[in-house]
Structure 1
Amino acid sequence: MQIQKSARRVYLSLGIIALFSSNLFAQTAEEEAAELAKKLANPIASLISVPFQNNTDYGIGEFRGTRNTMNIQPVIPVSISENLNLITRVIIPVVTQYNITGENSKQAGVADVVASAFFSPKNSEKLTWGVGPALLLPFATNDLLATKKFGVGPTAIALKQTNGWTIGGLVNQIWSVAGEEDRPDVSQLFFQPFLVYNWKSGAGVGANMELTQNWQASQTTLWLNPTFSAVTSIGKQKTQFVIGPRFNLAAPTGGKADWGWRAVLVFLFPK
Protein backbone atom coordinates (compact mmCIF):
# COMPACT_ATOMS: atom_id res chain seq x y z
CA MET A 1 0.00 0.00 0.00
CA GLN A 2 1.33 3.36 -0.96
CA ILE A 3 0.62 6.18 1.48
CA GLN A 4 1.13 9.80 0.45
CA LYS A 5 2.91 11.73 3.19
CA SER A 6 3.70 15.47 3.40
CA ALA A 7 4.73 17.81 6.21
CA ARG A 8 5.47 21.48 5.67
CA ARG A 9 8.29 22.50 7.98
CA VAL A 10 8.08 26.09 9.25
CA TYR A 11 10.02 25.55 12.45
CA LEU A 12 12.44 22.73 13.24
CA SER A 13 10.37 21.48 16.18
CA LEU A 14 7.18 21.42 14.11
CA GLY A 15 9.08 19.55 11.37
CA ILE A 16 10.16 16.85 13.82
CA ILE A 17 6.59 16.45 15.07
CA ALA A 18 5.21 16.28 11.51
CA LEU A 19 7.82 13.74 10.45
CA PHE A 20 7.15 11.58 13.49
CA SER A 21 3.39 11.69 12.90
CA SER A 22 3.84 10.81 9.22
CA ASN A 23 6.04 7.80 10.01
CA LEU A 24 3.57 6.64 12.64
CA PHE A 25 0.72 6.85 10.11
CA ALA A 26 2.73 4.87 7.54
CA GLN A 27 3.53 2.20 10.13
CA THR A 28 -0.15 1.91 11.04
CA ALA A 29 -1.16 1.64 7.37
CA GLU A 30 1.50 -1.03 6.75
CA GLU A 31 0.30 -3.03 9.74
CA GLU A 32 -3.27 -2.79 8.44
CA ALA A 33 -2.18 -4.05 4.99
CA ALA A 34 -0.29 -6.93 6.58
CA GLU A 35 -3.28 -7.90 8.70
CA LEU A 36 -5.65 -7.78 5.70
CA ALA A 37 -3.24 -9.88 3.65
CA LYS A 38 -3.06 -12.44 6.46
CA LYS A 39 -6.86 -12.65 6.65
CA LEU A 40 -7.16 -12.95 2.87
CA ALA A 41 -4.78 -15.92 2.90
CA ASN A 42 -7.29 -17.57 5.24
CA PRO A 43 -10.49 -18.50 3.33
CA ILE A 44 -12.50 -18.60 6.58
CA ALA A 45 -11.19 -15.42 8.22
CA SER A 46 -13.72 -13.12 9.89
CA LEU A 47 -13.60 -10.65 7.01
CA ILE A 48 -16.31 -9.68 4.53
CA SER A 49 -14.87 -9.84 1.02
CA VAL A 50 -16.15 -9.97 -2.55
CA PRO A 51 -13.59 -11.55 -4.91
CA PHE A 52 -13.96 -11.43 -8.69
CA GLN A 53 -11.71 -14.24 -9.92
CA ASN A 54 -11.18 -14.36 -13.69
CA ASN A 55 -9.66 -17.47 -15.31
CA THR A 56 -8.86 -17.54 -19.04
CA ASP A 57 -7.65 -20.80 -20.57
CA TYR A 58 -6.40 -21.42 -24.13
CA GLY A 59 -5.86 -24.33 -26.49
CA ILE A 60 -8.56 -26.58 -25.07
CA GLY A 61 -9.32 -29.83 -26.82
CA GLU A 62 -9.54 -30.81 -30.47
CA PHE A 63 -10.67 -27.40 -31.71
CA ARG A 64 -8.14 -25.36 -29.68
CA GLY A 65 -10.92 -23.70 -27.75
CA THR A 66 -10.87 -20.83 -25.25
CA ARG A 67 -12.80 -20.59 -22.01
CA ASN A 68 -13.20 -17.55 -19.76
CA THR A 69 -14.68 -18.09 -16.30
CA MET A 70 -15.45 -15.19 -13.98
CA ASN A 71 -16.07 -16.58 -10.48
CA ILE A 72 -17.96 -14.16 -8.24
CA GLN A 73 -17.25 -15.36 -4.70
CA PRO A 74 -18.74 -13.32 -1.83
CA VAL A 75 -17.52 -14.42 1.61
CA ILE A 76 -19.61 -13.34 4.61
CA PRO A 77 -18.77 -14.25 8.24
CA VAL A 78 -21.55 -14.38 10.83
CA SER A 79 -20.95 -14.57 14.58
CA ILE A 80 -23.33 -17.20 15.94
CA SER A 81 -21.94 -17.46 19.48
CA GLU A 82 -19.14 -16.22 21.71
CA ASN A 83 -16.81 -18.93 20.42
CA LEU A 84 -18.13 -19.81 16.96
CA ASN A 85 -18.32 -18.17 13.53
CA LEU A 86 -20.31 -19.25 10.51
CA ILE A 87 -18.44 -18.40 7.30
CA THR A 88 -20.60 -18.49 4.18
CA ARG A 89 -19.02 -18.66 0.73
CA VAL A 90 -20.82 -18.71 -2.64
CA ILE A 91 -19.14 -19.32 -6.02
CA ILE A 92 -21.09 -18.02 -9.03
CA PRO A 93 -19.31 -18.91 -12.32
CA VAL A 94 -20.01 -16.73 -15.36
CA VAL A 95 -18.66 -18.61 -18.37
CA THR A 96 -17.95 -17.69 -21.99
CA GLN A 97 -16.37 -20.38 -24.18
CA TYR A 98 -15.50 -20.79 -27.84
CA ASN A 99 -14.78 -23.97 -29.84
CA ILE A 100 -15.19 -26.23 -26.82
CA THR A 101 -18.25 -28.30 -27.76
CA GLY A 102 -17.56 -28.09 -31.50
CA GLU A 103 -15.87 -26.04 -34.20
CA ASN A 104 -17.16 -22.43 -34.39
CA SER A 105 -19.36 -23.05 -31.32
CA LYS A 106 -20.00 -20.62 -28.50
CA GLN A 107 -21.70 -20.91 -25.11
CA ALA A 108 -22.17 -18.17 -22.55
CA GLY A 109 -24.03 -17.84 -19.28
CA VAL A 110 -24.02 -18.64 -15.58
CA ALA A 111 -22.94 -22.19 -14.67
CA ASP A 112 -24.09 -24.11 -11.59
CA VAL A 113 -23.48 -22.40 -8.25
CA VAL A 114 -21.62 -23.94 -5.30
CA ALA A 115 -22.45 -22.62 -1.82
CA SER A 116 -20.51 -23.59 1.32
CA ALA A 117 -20.87 -22.85 5.01
CA PHE A 118 -18.05 -23.39 7.52
CA PHE A 119 -18.55 -23.56 11.27
CA SER A 120 -15.23 -22.32 12.67
CA PRO A 121 -13.99 -21.65 16.24
CA LYS A 122 -13.12 -17.98 16.84
CA ASN A 123 -10.01 -18.50 18.94
CA SER A 124 -8.01 -21.21 17.18
CA GLU A 125 -4.38 -20.45 18.09
CA LYS A 126 -2.46 -23.42 16.68
CA LEU A 127 -4.73 -24.56 13.85
CA THR A 128 -7.57 -22.74 12.12
CA TRP A 129 -10.28 -25.05 10.86
CA GLY A 130 -13.89 -25.16 9.75
CA VAL A 131 -16.43 -27.79 8.69
CA GLY A 132 -19.90 -27.66 7.24
CA PRO A 133 -22.13 -28.41 4.25
CA ALA A 134 -21.56 -27.72 0.55
CA LEU A 135 -24.44 -27.38 -1.91
CA LEU A 136 -24.56 -27.70 -5.70
CA LEU A 137 -27.34 -25.39 -6.93
CA PRO A 138 -28.67 -25.92 -10.51
CA PHE A 139 -28.84 -22.25 -11.45
CA ALA A 140 -27.10 -22.56 -14.85
CA THR A 141 -28.62 -20.48 -17.67
CA ASN A 142 -27.16 -22.62 -20.48
CA ASP A 143 -27.83 -26.36 -20.79
CA LEU A 144 -24.25 -27.06 -21.95
CA LEU A 145 -22.90 -25.41 -18.76
CA ALA A 146 -25.32 -27.24 -16.46
CA THR A 147 -25.53 -30.50 -14.53
CA LYS A 148 -29.30 -30.07 -14.02
CA LYS A 149 -28.75 -31.61 -10.59
CA PHE A 150 -29.10 -30.48 -6.97
CA GLY A 151 -26.24 -31.78 -4.86
CA VAL A 152 -25.10 -31.83 -1.26
CA GLY A 153 -22.09 -33.03 0.72
CA PRO A 154 -19.52 -32.12 3.38
CA THR A 155 -16.75 -29.55 3.17
CA ALA A 156 -13.80 -28.84 5.46
CA ILE A 157 -10.77 -26.58 5.67
CA ALA A 158 -7.67 -26.49 7.90
CA LEU A 159 -4.73 -24.08 7.86
CA LYS A 160 -1.76 -22.86 9.88
CA GLN A 161 -0.43 -19.29 9.87
CA THR A 162 3.03 -18.41 11.23
CA ASN A 163 5.78 -15.88 10.43
CA GLY A 164 4.05 -14.65 7.29
CA TRP A 165 3.33 -18.16 5.98
CA THR A 166 -0.11 -19.68 5.43
CA ILE A 167 -0.35 -23.37 4.59
CA GLY A 168 -3.50 -25.41 4.41
CA GLY A 169 -6.09 -27.19 2.34
CA LEU A 170 -9.79 -27.14 1.47
CA VAL A 171 -11.87 -30.15 0.43
CA ASN A 172 -15.47 -30.93 -0.45
CA GLN A 173 -17.40 -33.91 -1.81
CA ILE A 174 -20.76 -33.40 -3.49
CA TRP A 175 -23.33 -36.03 -4.50
CA SER A 176 -26.45 -35.25 -6.52
CA VAL A 177 -29.70 -36.01 -4.68
CA ALA A 178 -32.28 -34.59 -7.10
CA GLY A 179 -32.62 -33.23 -10.62
CA GLU A 180 -33.37 -34.29 -14.16
CA GLU A 181 -33.24 -38.07 -14.52
CA ASP A 182 -31.81 -37.99 -18.05
CA ARG A 183 -28.68 -36.20 -16.79
CA PRO A 184 -25.71 -38.11 -15.28
CA ASP A 185 -25.54 -38.26 -11.49
CA VAL A 186 -22.92 -36.09 -9.77
CA SER A 187 -20.27 -37.55 -7.47
CA GLN A 188 -17.41 -35.08 -7.38
CA LEU A 189 -14.46 -34.39 -5.10
CA PHE A 190 -12.70 -31.02 -4.99
CA PHE A 191 -9.37 -30.65 -3.15
CA GLN A 192 -7.33 -27.44 -2.95
CA PRO A 193 -4.02 -27.37 -1.03
CA PHE A 194 -2.53 -23.85 -0.78
CA LEU A 195 0.65 -22.10 0.34
CA VAL A 196 1.10 -18.31 0.66
CA TYR A 197 3.82 -16.04 2.01
CA ASN A 198 2.93 -12.40 2.82
CA TRP A 199 5.36 -9.59 3.54
CA LYS A 200 4.52 -6.84 6.03
CA SER A 201 3.68 -4.52 3.13
CA GLY A 202 0.71 -6.75 2.27
CA ALA A 203 2.36 -8.13 -0.88
CA GLY A 204 2.40 -11.88 -1.22
CA VAL A 205 3.48 -14.84 -3.31
CA GLY A 206 1.95 -18.29 -3.27
CA ALA A 207 0.42 -21.18 -5.15
CA ASN A 208 -2.47 -23.59 -4.98
CA MET A 209 -3.47 -26.78 -6.72
CA GLU A 210 -7.08 -27.47 -7.70
CA LEU A 211 -7.98 -31.13 -8.07
CA THR A 212 -11.43 -32.14 -9.29
CA GLN A 213 -12.23 -35.86 -9.34
CA ASN A 214 -15.38 -36.91 -11.15
CA TRP A 215 -16.01 -40.33 -9.63
CA GLN A 216 -19.02 -41.00 -11.85
CA ALA A 217 -17.03 -40.61 -15.09
CA SER A 218 -13.61 -41.60 -13.65
CA GLN A 219 -12.12 -38.28 -14.81
CA THR A 220 -9.45 -36.15 -13.10
CA THR A 221 -8.76 -32.45 -13.65
CA LEU A 222 -5.73 -30.79 -12.00
CA TRP A 223 -4.57 -27.17 -12.14
CA LEU A 224 -1.49 -25.49 -10.65
CA ASN A 225 -1.94 -21.76 -9.95
CA PRO A 226 1.10 -19.70 -8.85
CA THR A 227 0.07 -16.20 -7.73
CA PHE A 228 1.43 -12.77 -6.85
CA SER A 229 -0.74 -10.45 -4.74
CA ALA A 230 -0.85 -6.96 -3.22
CA VAL A 231 -3.18 -5.10 -0.87
CA THR A 232 -3.93 -1.46 -1.67
CA SER A 233 -6.74 1.12 -1.72
CA ILE A 234 -8.85 2.51 -4.53
CA GLY A 235 -9.94 5.74 -2.92
CA LYS A 236 -11.27 4.59 0.45
CA GLN A 237 -12.02 1.07 -0.77
CA LYS A 238 -9.59 -1.57 0.48
CA THR A 239 -8.72 -4.03 -2.27
CA GLN A 240 -6.43 -6.90 -3.15
CA PHE A 241 -5.04 -7.66 -6.60
CA VAL A 242 -3.89 -11.17 -7.53
CA ILE A 243 -2.37 -12.36 -10.80
CA GLY A 244 -0.55 -15.42 -12.09
CA PRO A 245 -0.34 -18.16 -14.72
CA ARG A 246 -2.36 -21.40 -14.76
CA PHE A 247 -1.01 -24.82 -15.70
CA ASN A 248 -3.40 -27.65 -16.59
CA LEU A 249 -1.53 -30.72 -15.34
CA ALA A 250 -4.32 -33.23 -15.97
CA ALA A 251 -7.69 -33.23 -17.73
CA PRO A 252 -10.21 -35.60 -19.31
CA THR A 253 -9.37 -36.79 -22.84
CA GLY A 254 -9.81 -33.95 -25.31
CA GLY A 255 -10.28 -31.33 -22.58
CA LYS A 256 -6.77 -30.28 -21.59
CA ALA A 257 -5.74 -26.62 -21.97
CA ASP A 258 -2.31 -25.54 -23.19
CA TRP A 259 -2.07 -22.72 -20.66
CA GLY A 260 -4.05 -20.04 -18.89
CA TRP A 261 -3.91 -17.08 -16.53
CA ARG A 262 -5.75 -15.89 -13.43
CA ALA A 263 -6.50 -12.33 -12.31
CA VAL A 264 -8.43 -11.51 -9.15
CA LEU A 265 -9.84 -8.26 -7.79
CA VAL A 266 -11.05 -8.51 -4.17
CA PHE A 267 -13.12 -5.82 -2.47
CA LEU A 268 -12.54 -5.86 1.30
CA PHE A 269 -14.85 -4.68 4.03
CA PRO A 270 -12.90 -4.87 7.32
CA LYS A 271 -14.82 -4.26 10.53
Structure 2
Amino acid sequence: MISRTVLPMTYQVYNESNLKDDWGVGDIVQSLFFSPSKTSESGITWGVGPAILLPTASEKTLGADQYGLGPTFVILKQTHGWTVGALANHIWGVEHDDDVDAISSTFVQPFVSYTYPNSTTVGLNTETTYDWNSEEATMPVNLTVTKVINLNGQLISVGAGARYWADDHDASPKGWGARLIASFVFPKK
Protein backbone atom coordinates (compact mmCIF):
# COMPACT_ATOMS: atom_id res chain seq x y z
CA MET A 1 0.00 0.00 0.00
CA ILE A 2 1.25 3.48 -0.94
CA SER A 3 -0.10 6.52 0.89
CA ARG A 4 -0.14 9.99 -0.70
CA THR A 5 -1.33 12.92 1.43
CA VAL A 6 -1.70 16.38 -0.10
CA LEU A 7 -2.20 19.33 2.28
CA PRO A 8 -1.92 22.55 0.28
CA MET A 9 -0.78 25.76 1.98
CA THR A 10 -1.93 28.68 -0.14
CA TYR A 11 -1.40 32.41 -0.38
CA GLN A 12 -4.02 33.61 -2.85
CA VAL A 13 -3.78 37.16 -4.23
CA TYR A 14 -6.84 38.73 -5.88
CA ASN A 15 -5.29 41.45 -8.06
CA GLU A 16 -8.35 42.53 -10.03
CA SER A 17 -11.08 42.52 -7.40
CA ASN A 18 -12.09 43.95 -4.06
CA LEU A 19 -11.46 40.63 -2.31
CA LYS A 20 -8.94 40.44 0.52
CA ASP A 21 -5.97 38.11 -0.09
CA ASP A 22 -6.28 34.64 1.48
CA TRP A 23 -3.61 32.70 3.35
CA GLY A 24 -4.01 29.27 4.91
CA VAL A 25 -4.32 25.54 4.39
CA GLY A 26 -6.64 23.88 1.91
CA ASP A 27 -8.51 20.60 1.99
CA ILE A 28 -6.53 17.38 2.48
CA VAL A 29 -6.73 14.82 -0.32
CA GLN A 30 -5.65 11.43 1.04
CA SER A 31 -4.99 8.75 -1.58
CA LEU A 32 -4.24 5.10 -0.85
CA PHE A 33 -2.84 3.01 -3.69
CA PHE A 34 -2.84 -0.76 -3.57
CA SER A 35 0.03 -1.85 -5.80
CA PRO A 36 1.95 -5.02 -6.61
CA SER A 37 5.07 -5.24 -4.44
CA LYS A 38 7.27 -5.76 -7.50
CA THR A 39 7.53 -3.74 -10.70
CA SER A 40 6.30 -5.57 -13.82
CA GLU A 41 8.82 -7.07 -16.28
CA SER A 42 8.26 -4.04 -18.52
CA GLY A 43 9.23 -1.70 -15.65
CA ILE A 44 5.69 -0.44 -15.05
CA THR A 45 4.52 0.43 -11.54
CA TRP A 46 0.81 0.95 -10.93
CA GLY A 47 -1.67 1.31 -8.12
CA VAL A 48 -5.41 1.78 -7.55
CA GLY A 49 -7.47 2.70 -4.52
CA PRO A 50 -9.59 5.36 -2.85
CA ALA A 51 -9.13 9.15 -2.80
CA ILE A 52 -10.63 10.85 0.24
CA LEU A 53 -11.34 14.60 0.51
CA LEU A 54 -11.25 15.99 4.05
CA PRO A 55 -12.60 19.54 4.62
CA THR A 56 -9.62 21.02 6.46
CA ALA A 57 -9.41 24.43 4.74
CA SER A 58 -8.76 27.34 7.08
CA GLU A 59 -10.71 29.74 4.79
CA LYS A 60 -13.92 28.99 2.87
CA THR A 61 -12.29 30.21 -0.36
CA LEU A 62 -9.46 27.66 0.01
CA GLY A 63 -11.61 24.52 0.18
CA ALA A 64 -14.87 22.79 -0.68
CA ASP A 65 -16.28 22.61 2.88
CA GLN A 66 -17.44 19.02 2.37
CA TYR A 67 -16.25 15.43 2.54
CA GLY A 68 -15.61 13.55 -0.68
CA LEU A 69 -14.69 10.07 -1.88
CA GLY A 70 -13.79 8.42 -5.17
CA PRO A 71 -11.36 6.20 -7.08
CA THR A 72 -7.73 7.01 -7.86
CA PHE A 73 -4.97 5.38 -9.87
CA VAL A 74 -1.33 5.93 -10.72
CA ILE A 75 0.87 4.40 -13.43
CA LEU A 76 4.54 5.12 -14.07
CA LYS A 77 7.75 3.81 -15.56
CA GLN A 78 11.25 4.54 -14.29
CA THR A 79 14.37 4.01 -16.36
CA HIS A 80 17.86 5.54 -16.41
CA GLY A 81 16.90 8.45 -14.13
CA TRP A 82 13.66 9.20 -15.96
CA THR A 83 10.17 8.83 -14.45
CA VAL A 84 7.16 9.13 -16.76
CA GLY A 85 3.56 8.56 -15.75
CA ALA A 86 0.17 9.84 -14.71
CA LEU A 87 -1.97 10.07 -11.60
CA ALA A 88 -5.75 10.60 -11.69
CA ASN A 89 -8.76 10.62 -9.41
CA HIS A 90 -12.42 11.51 -9.36
CA ILE A 91 -14.05 12.75 -6.16
CA TRP A 92 -17.78 12.99 -5.44
CA GLY A 93 -19.13 14.87 -2.42
CA VAL A 94 -20.55 12.47 0.17
CA GLU A 95 -21.48 14.93 2.94
CA HIS A 96 -22.31 18.57 2.32
CA ASP A 97 -24.78 21.34 3.18
CA ASP A 98 -28.15 21.11 1.40
CA ASP A 99 -27.70 24.51 -0.27
CA VAL A 100 -24.35 23.53 -1.87
CA ASP A 101 -23.78 21.25 -4.86
CA ALA A 102 -21.95 18.04 -4.04
CA ILE A 103 -18.45 18.00 -5.48
CA SER A 104 -17.95 16.13 -8.74
CA SER A 105 -14.33 16.75 -9.73
CA THR A 106 -11.80 14.93 -11.92
CA PHE A 107 -8.06 15.44 -11.40
CA VAL A 108 -5.45 14.32 -13.98
CA GLN A 109 -1.70 14.77 -13.48
CA PRO A 110 0.64 13.56 -16.25
CA PHE A 111 4.28 13.93 -15.20
CA VAL A 112 7.85 13.53 -16.40
CA SER A 113 11.01 14.01 -14.35
CA TYR A 114 14.71 13.31 -14.41
CA THR A 115 16.72 12.50 -11.27
CA TYR A 116 20.46 13.17 -11.30
CA PRO A 117 22.90 10.93 -9.39
CA ASN A 118 23.17 13.58 -6.62
CA SER A 119 19.39 13.12 -5.92
CA THR A 120 18.36 16.41 -7.56
CA THR A 121 15.19 16.02 -9.64
CA VAL A 122 13.82 18.32 -12.34
CA GLY A 123 10.14 17.72 -13.04
CA LEU A 124 7.39 18.93 -15.36
CA ASN A 125 3.68 18.21 -14.85
CA THR A 126 0.19 19.54 -15.21
CA GLU A 127 -2.50 19.33 -12.55
CA THR A 128 -5.73 19.55 -14.54
CA THR A 129 -8.96 19.69 -12.55
CA TYR A 130 -12.36 19.52 -14.21
CA ASP A 131 -15.43 20.55 -12.19
CA TRP A 132 -18.42 18.64 -13.60
CA ASN A 133 -20.92 20.95 -11.84
CA SER A 134 -19.66 24.20 -13.39
CA GLU A 135 -18.24 22.44 -16.48
CA GLU A 136 -15.00 24.39 -16.07
CA ALA A 137 -11.36 23.33 -15.91
CA THR A 138 -8.12 24.66 -14.53
CA MET A 139 -4.74 23.53 -15.83
CA PRO A 140 -1.63 24.80 -14.08
CA VAL A 141 1.68 23.68 -15.61
CA ASN A 142 4.47 23.17 -13.07
CA LEU A 143 8.26 23.14 -13.46
CA THR A 144 10.00 22.06 -10.24
CA VAL A 145 13.46 21.32 -8.90
CA THR A 146 13.78 19.17 -5.76
CA LYS A 147 16.60 17.57 -3.78
CA VAL A 148 16.48 14.78 -1.22
CA ILE A 149 18.19 15.77 2.03
CA ASN A 150 18.80 13.89 5.26
CA LEU A 151 17.57 15.78 8.31
CA ASN A 152 18.47 13.88 11.50
CA GLY A 153 17.88 10.52 9.81
CA GLN A 154 14.64 11.56 8.06
CA LEU A 155 14.81 11.82 4.28
CA ILE A 156 12.92 14.85 2.94
CA SER A 157 12.56 15.98 -0.66
CA VAL A 158 12.65 19.79 -0.64
CA GLY A 159 12.37 22.15 -3.57
CA ALA A 160 10.65 24.94 -5.39
CA GLY A 161 8.98 25.58 -8.69
CA ALA A 162 7.20 27.91 -11.03
CA ARG A 163 3.57 27.48 -12.05
CA TYR A 164 1.61 28.94 -14.95
CA TRP A 165 -2.16 28.55 -15.40
CA ALA A 166 -2.54 27.50 -19.04
CA ASP A 167 -6.32 27.20 -18.55
CA ASP A 168 -8.44 28.92 -15.90
CA HIS A 169 -11.92 30.25 -15.18
CA ASP A 170 -13.38 33.34 -13.49
CA ALA A 171 -12.99 32.06 -9.91
CA SER A 172 -9.60 30.36 -10.32
CA PRO A 173 -6.02 31.64 -10.02
CA LYS A 174 -4.48 33.11 -13.16
CA GLY A 175 -1.05 33.82 -14.59
CA TRP A 176 2.12 32.90 -12.74
CA GLY A 177 2.59 31.33 -9.33
CA ALA A 178 5.27 29.69 -7.24
CA ARG A 179 5.37 26.65 -5.03
CA LEU A 180 7.57 25.36 -2.24
CA ILE A 181 7.76 21.59 -1.79
CA ALA A 182 8.51 19.36 1.20
CA SER A 183 7.82 15.62 0.91
CA PHE A 184 8.82 13.12 3.57
CA VAL A 185 10.43 9.99 2.11
CA PHE A 186 10.04 6.60 3.81
CA PRO A 187 12.08 4.06 1.81
CA LYS A 188 11.59 0.30 2.21
CA LYS A 189 14.11 -1.20 4.62
- With the shorter chain as reference, the TM-score category is 0.7 to 0.9
Q: Residues 191 and 199 of structure 1: is their aligned pair in 2 closer, same or farther, counting only changes over 3 Å?
A: same
Unaligned runs of 5+ in 2: none
Task: Establish whether residue 92 from structure 1 lines up as the match of residue 23 from structure 2.
Answer: no
1:2-41 maps to which residues of 2 (within 5 A)?
none
Distance 1:234 1:114, change over 3 A: closer
Alignment-derived partner of residue 24 in structure 2: 109
Say which structure is richer in helix: 1
- AA matched with 2:2: I
Q: Which runs of 5+ in 1 are unaligned?
A: 1-85
Q: Aligned partners of 2:160 and 2:58: how far apart in 1?
A: 28
Matches within 5 A, 1:141-220: 141-220=58-137
Greater length-normalized contact order (CA 8 Å, ≥ 6 residues apart): 1
User: Which amino acid in 1 is paired with 2:21?
Assistant: K
CA drift of 1:156 comes to 0.2
User: In structure 2, how many angstroms separate the alpha carbons of the residues matched to 1:135 and 1:118?
Assistant: 12
2:164 is matched by which residue type in structure 1?
A: F
Evaluate the alpha carbon distance shift between residue 142 and residue 244 of structure 1 in structure 2; reply closer, same or farther with a 3 A threshold. closer
2:37 is the counterpart of 1:122: yes
Q: Percent of aligned positions with the same letter in both sequences?
A: 37
What is the Cα-based RMSD across aligned positions, in Å? 2.2
Give me the TM-score of the superposition, normalised by structure 2.
0.86
- Which residue in 2 is equivalent to 1:39? none
159-168 vs 248-257, which deviates more? 248-257
Q: Contact 1:250–1:256 at 8 Å: present in 2 too? A: no
Higher share of residues assigned strand: 2
Task: Give 1 or 2 for the bigger CA radius of gyration.
Answer: 1
Q: 2:147 aligns with which of 227, 230, 239?
A: 230
Q: 1:40-65 deviations in whole A, cap 9, x for unaligned?
A: xxxxxxxxxxxxxxxxxxxxxxxxxx
1:197 Cα deviation (Å)?
A: 1.2
Distance apart, 1:99 and its partner CA: 3.0
Residues 1:90 and 1:190: Cα distance change in structure 2 (over 3 Å): same
One-letter amino acid of the counterpart of residue 261, structure 1: A
Identify the residue that residue 178 of structure 2 maps to in structure 1.
261
Q: TM-score w.r.t. structure 1 length?
A: 0.62
Aligned-pair distance for 1:225?
0.8
CA distance in 1 between counterparts of 2:16 and 2:102 reads 20
CA distance in 1, matches of 2:130, 2:85: 19
